[in-house]
Amino acid sequence: MPFDMIGNVAIIPVEGSLVHKGGWIGSQSGETSYQGLQAQIATAKRLPEVKGIAFEVDSYGGEVNGGFETAAAIADLSRAKPTIAILTDFAYSAGYLLASQARQIVMPAFGGAGSIGVIMLHADYSEALADAGINVTIIRAGARKADGNPYERLSPALAEKWQAQAEDMRQIFATTVAKGRAGKLTKAQALATEADAFTAKEALSLGLVDAIADPVETFELFIKNINRS
């Protein structure tokens, strides 16, 4: 099996940086791939001996590509079988996106959750290179080729375009979270967080999580309840 099991409960780690591809990338490498998660989720849904799934979450987030598809897979799994996201520490950004699709989210007293937003970075090395006496020549065929490269200033038009793309992603993020947290957190409330990161007490009061509890005790209770049914 592509995951550990205790009784009839599958354990799927969502830990470290979340990346799109790499079916064999696991949390032991400091990364978890969406590709690998999707394979585990599909297997957990298909196998009759899997009666419940615990997602062990400790991630500051990662790539957008693959994230929403994985969230949809967890939502589908949650409709078919009991799921729980147990935060061993933090669930931020894409980490929280995935956790939000479980039936229940439990976090430790000193963990963190949130960051419902999107970030893009652009580094402009043009002045540093000029100061070093380095001239970069970009030969392009097509006016927009090499747009956003780090050797030229970012144009206002491209910055505006990227800002719009980031906002579109944030809207989808909030919509997805609201569906996963139906009745507990609305899209408007998710957007109102402005991508802030919250303590356990704050996250509970906002509806981002369902309970604050010891992760080990929560896991043992989930296993007990699933194996009893």
**Domain spans of the chain, in order of start:** 4-118+173-228
Residue 84 — φ and ψ, nearest 5°?
-145, 140
Pick the catalytic residue from 93, 100, 126, 229.
Answer: 93
Q: What's the pLDDT tens digit per position in 156-171? A: 999 999 999 999 999 9
- Give me the pLDDT at residue 22, please: 82
Two tokens at 122?
Answer: 């652009």
* 25, pLDDT greater than 80: no
Q: What is the CA radius of gyration of the chain?
A: 20
3-state secondary structure of 30: coil
**pLDDT at residue 48 tops 70:** yes
In the predicted structure, residue 24 carries a pLDDT above the cut 90: no
228: pLDDT confidence band, cut at 50, 70 and 90?
Answer: confident
Which residues make Cβ contacts (< 8 Å) with residue 104, sequence separation at least 6? Answer: 83, 84, 85, 210, 211
What would the mean pLDDT of 16-40 be, rounded to a whole number?
Answer: 85
Q: Write out pLDDT tens, residues 192-216.
A: 999 999 999 999 999 999 999 999 9
Instruction: Give the separation between CA 209 and CA 214, rounded to whole angstroms.
Output: 14
Q: Tell me, what's the pLDDT at 1?
A: 83
Q: Stretch 90-99: mean pLDDT, rounded? A: 98
Joined tokens for residue 106: 């439990």
**What is the predicted pLDDT for the residue at 27?**
58
Of the CA atoms within 13 Å of residue 138, those in its CB half-sphere come to 14
Contacts of 54 (CB under 8 A, 6+ apart): 9, 10, 11, 12, 83, 84, 86, 219, 222, 223
Rounded alpha-carbon distances, angstroms, from residue 29 to 63, 99, 151: 16, 20, 32
pLDDT tens, residue by residue, 109-135: 999 999 999 999 999 999 999 999 999
CB proximity list for 191: less than 8 A, separation 6 or greater: 116, 170, 171, 174
What percent of the chain stands above pLDDT 70?
97
State mean pLDDT over 21-39. Answer: 82
Nearest CA among 65, 67, 56 for reference residue 13: 56
- Lowest mean per-residue pLDDT among 39-43, 214-218, 223-227: 223-227
3-class SS at 107?
strand
On the 0-12 / 13-18 / 19+ scale of CB atoms within 10 A, 29 is middle
What's the CATH class of domain 4-118+173-228? Answer: alpha beta
Say whether pLDDT at 16 is over 90: yes
H or E segment and range at residue 111: none
For residue 63, pLDDT beyond 70: yes
155 is catalytic: no
| Model confidence at 68: pLDDT above 80 | yes
pLDDT at position 29, please?
A: 64
Give pTM, 2 decimals.
0.94
Dig out the tokens for 25 from the structure: 């990338």
